[in-house]
Structures are given as structure tokens and as C-alpha cells.
Structure 1
Amino acid sequence: MIKYILILTLLLPVLITKGQSFELNGIIEGKDSGVIFLYYKSTERYQLDSAKIKNGHFHFQGEIAGPVVASLNKFRPEKLKSIHDRNEFYIDPTKMDITVEADKFEHFTLKGAATDKDRVSLIKSQQSERDSINLLSAAIEATTDKNLKLTYIQATNRLNHIIREKDSVFIVHHPDSYVAADLLQKSISFHTISFTSYDSLYQRMPLAIQQSEVGKKIKVTVDKEKAVSPGMIAPAFPSIDTLTGKRAILLDFWASWCIPCRQLAPQLHQLYEQYKDKVEFISISLDKNKADWIKATQEDNISWVNILEDNLQQLSRRYFVSTIPTYVLIGADKKIIGNYAPLTWQELKTALANLN
């Protein structure tokens, strides 16, 4: 008996990592033969499978750890040229059927994948905003009027804000959805919702999602970022420790090669001029090349404290900066007020305005 228990114990990790099987039977309208590709995350790695098209039909099967995002491609990924050559959806460990148009892969019908219904529901709730953004994008490209272009950009930003709000509502109301879990992970990475909601949202997820790959990523990030969440004492470094006479500190994590960082430089200058008497601005560059850092500093006319991060300080790691630009506002008591990104720029402005 002991021998059999030992064998089962040794096999357990294998059984756990094996995953569950899926089947995807497909019909491609307008194409009788050829090859079609499916890109997805298997139990061990990202997988690119191919299937022959016979009389307009094709078939895929494989193993996945749970619901995952998949992409059906007309060509191999490196040869894709148009948005009409691919689509994206969730596959479940079950049997599914998909029908797709040969010339417009984004037009497809998927049956049997319960998880993908959540994705479809979310997209439908945001369709009017997305359609308007597409029209505005075309208008921005077409006009040469700078004022009109700025008006279109501002309108686009407002629509993107509405989409983010709908994402947040979806996350709150669908704690048992893998789609919501993926959205939460992206929100954490890009700082599009406040940190105070991360842990509570994670705790509402069922155990299956918490133990999934995306659930584990969320848990790691939540545990790490608790150290730099609002209300916590900011990780110390010399430039902070030696500051006196300032009521708050704004850390700006950036780099010369970061396009959004450089684009926001003029607006950061405006904030500096507005709050320099009561806020100490510190820019921390993640550049590896000192010459690039100096050149960008001169081009952007950075007149406040500017630090080139080195391997000894690793300030971005201490503040768990995953994307740039990232802005960290610290109060006079050295406690963190908030973490901000381009998508939450308005929240940063509000926080600065609310400083005592």
C-alpha cells in the first residue's frame, strides 16, 4: 500500500501540470483549402499550431490549464499585415465550434466557450465608445488644424476614460470571470484603477481563478505593491532623506526612449511651475546610456532634481515600477499618497491640488 501511495504522490505534479484538453472545430467561409493558425498559451508555453483546411473545415486540439486567450490567424504571426487577418477570443477546456469569414477574420461566431461570452458582453457595452474613437482617430490623421486635432485628442481621451470605467465596473460585477481577472491584471500593470481595490477584488475571486496563472500574477503584484500603497512609508533613498522645507515629493520615473514620458514632459513642466513652492519634483531616469539621459534632460529642459538610476539604488524596483512613466506622490510625512500613470494623469492633478 505504501508503494502505491508513493507512486501516486510522484505522479501528482505530472497530473496537475498536464492540463485539460480542448477541441476547436472550425468552418472558414470563402476558402476551401490551405492552412490556418491558432496561437494560445498551452500548459507549458505559448503555442502556435497549424491545421489544414479541407473543404472549408479545420480542426485544432490541445491542452490548456484553464480558459486562455487564443488568436486564430490567417497567416503565421510574422506575416500578418491587416486587422482582417486575425481575431482574438477565449477558449475553454471543452469542445467548441467557430465559423469565420476568410477575408475578415474579425467577423466570427464562437460556440461552446462560456468564458468568451464575458468578453463579448464587455465589448458590446463599449461598442459605441470604440466606434467613436475609430472615427476620431481617422479625423486626427486627416486634419492639419492643430486646434481641431487637439479637440479630437481630448474627446478621444474622454472616451478612453469611459471605457476604463466600464472595465472597472465589469471587474467589480464579475469576480468569477477569467476575463475580469485578465482585466484586473492589466489594470494593475498600467495603474488604471486605484490600488486600494486590488486586494479586495482578488479576495472575491473563486479559488480556481486565484490559483490560475493570471490569479497568481495578481497575487504577486498585490503582495509587492502593498509596500508602496497609499498610506505606507515611502522607501527611502538619499535624495528623499536630505530634503527639507518641502511639503510633498513627486517622483517621476521615466527614460529618454519612453515616448509617452517625453510627450508628457510639457505638462509635467506646467505642474512644476504650479507647485514648485510646496512640492519637490524628482525625475528618476531608467536610461542605461548616460549620454542619452543628458541629451533628453537638456531637450526637455528638466530644471528640477534629476537622477540616473544605477544598479546600487534600483529605485524602480524598490517602488515596484512596472511601466513608465510612473508618478509617485509622497506627502510631507513621507507616506505615499498615490501612484499614477498617463491614464490617471487627472487623478494626479487632483491629488496635487488637494495638498495642504
Structure 2
Amino acid sequence: MRKTLLSKSFFTAAVLALAVIFSSFQDKGKYTITGHFSELPDGTVMELVPSGTHKEEKPVASATVKSGRFTFTGSVDGPRYFFVKIADGGYSGFNLMVENAEISVTGKATPAKDGKGRSFTGIQVKGSPSHTAYEEKSSLRGRLNTLYEAYHERGKAVTDELSAARNAKDTARQKEIMASDAWKQFEKEEHAFFKTVGDSITALITANKDTWWGPFLMLTNFSYFTPEQKPLFEQFSKEAKESYYGQVVHADLYPKSYIGQQAPSLTFADVSFASIAKGKKYVVVDFWASWCGPCRKAVPALKAFYAENSKDVEIISVSIDKKDADWMKADKEENFPWHSYLDRQDLADAYQVKAIPAMFLLDAKGIVVAENVTLDQIREKIK
């Protein structure tokens, strides 16, 4: 009987041990982020948003604050860069490198000076080695900020003078200041600073060319890419290029062309593309936003173009504003005589819009004729 009891006990213990081992393996495939911030009000909704991808990303998790604490859980395929933010709090938040681990983040969340959102300070991150590495690799920014502040402090007197002259619309005084030795010295230091920035960032990326850090650092140090950054990417190892961030950079640097192909769907809530294009030869898709100065300045020329060509050309303005109210206010101010919509379908991403204003020319069947074109180029295309 004792032998039977012993066997049963051993079997039970073995099953429990296996369960613990299996559970530990499961935990290794997940992350748990625990945040604890003083002065963060109860009821505040926090979001975990992918960052560093040069795209507008949606939250992958959200949590409500209780006693200054919140928790996110999930999994990632490798270290990933996130922005932890207050929902509807603008840019109130902080960056965090996440990996599958138990991660704790502490700090303060004091009211921002402008009265909007909160300022997250004194942040301490534990449990994420990749975040520690990120902070080390990002220390360059602190050094560059110090250089920036130093040369601006040295040139403060002359830049203040020029600013005052511009505000007073004193053209003669502006020319006098810009011809002075003080201004020329400021410009010389500014040129040297930006050369240092470029050289330093290139050196940092090159030093990490064999791992995913290389393409990741490209994404976080350049707001957008131009063909000039292609050689920087091409130096990466096969491993770096094939990494998650390597693929993101490649897609950004070498975007797929839609010319000659069907454009991403432009069907809106109350109207289809076919009805918009009916009776027309071409459709211009114009991406803009209420806060985009160049977009707003281009409206009169676009209206003049439409007045001349509305028989054959229709226009669809697509705003990438985040808030309905901002779009509606600007839309009313501009009083577009054509179709105008807010981007609720991630059309900017589908059309691979990197900067605005951005215009695309489609034929009446929705085939892309030209991408990222100017109004003058459109005129040439529709002749």
C-alpha cells in the first residue's frame, strides 16, 4: 500500500513540476509592464503604442490607472520600441523598449507647464536590458543638445536682434544684422553643429550595422527618409536587413509604386469612388491637414486649377487630422468646392504618404497615373 501511495505522490509531484516548468516557458513568451507614477490621477487611461516605425500606429494595449499604477500585458517577437501615453493626452508620455519580461517603470507624472497633459519625469526602468541599451545608444542626443544650447547661447544677442527686426518688419535693419560679423559667426557655428549632428548619427548607425539596432537607430534618428539614406541602409548585414526594423526601413526607403495599378480603395461613408469619378477623366487625391502651413497656402492655387479643369478633373481632399473638430474647422474655413473627407481608413498609410501636402493623380477607373506630384506636374499629365 505504501508503494502505491508513494507512486501516486510521485506522479502528482511530477505533474505539478511539469506544470510549473510549462508555465515558466509561457511566461518567457510574454511581457508584463507595471507602471507606478506619483501624481498620476486615478481613472487616467494609459495606452501602449508602437513607435519608431515612421507610421501612425494604433495602441496595442490600454489600462486604467488606480492608485498611480497601471499594467500592460502582451507579447513581442523581439525587442520593440513603444510610446506609453495618456489616451487623448497629446504627446504626454514616455518611450519604452519592451521585451518579453517582467518590466517595471516608475517616476512622476506632474501637470505640464502649459496645463495640457502631464510631464513624465524621473523615469526608472527595470527588467528590460534592451531599454538600458537603448538609453546608452541614445545618450548622443544629450551631448548634441548641449552643443546646440551652447552655440545658441553665444549667438543669443544677434538672433534676438534679428527677431526684433523681423517682428518690426524692418527690412533694412534685417539686412544690416545679417551682414554683421556676429551673424556670420552664428551661421558658421550653426553649419558646424549640423555637420556634427550628421556625422555623429551616421557613426552611431554604422557602429550598429550588424544587428537590428542599426535600422532601428535609422528610424529614430531620421524623421523621414530620402534616397540619400540608401547607402546607409545598404551597409547593414543580412541579419540587420532581415530584422523587424530592417524590414520597416526597407519598406520606407524603397516604397512600392502603384503607378499603372489600381489605387488603394477610396470609398467613403456616403459616396463611392465610381460616383466621384463619373463623367471625369482624372481624380486628384490631395492629402493635407489643418495644421499644415504649406497645405493651407496651396489651397488658392488648387482652387484656381479646379476652376480651370473641373470639367475633366475631380479632387478629393483627405485630411490626416487626428480630431474631427480640427478638420471640420479648417474645412469650413477653406470652403473646398470639391469632395473633402477625414482619413478614417488609414488611407495615408495605404498611399505611403511620408509628408504633406501629397498629391496623387488617378484616372477615372482608379488607376494611379502619378504619385507625389506637384500641381504643375499634374497640369502636364492631363494635357
TM-score, normalised via structure 1 length: 0.49
> Bigger radius of gyration, 1 or 2?
2
TM-score, normalised via structure 2 length: 0.46
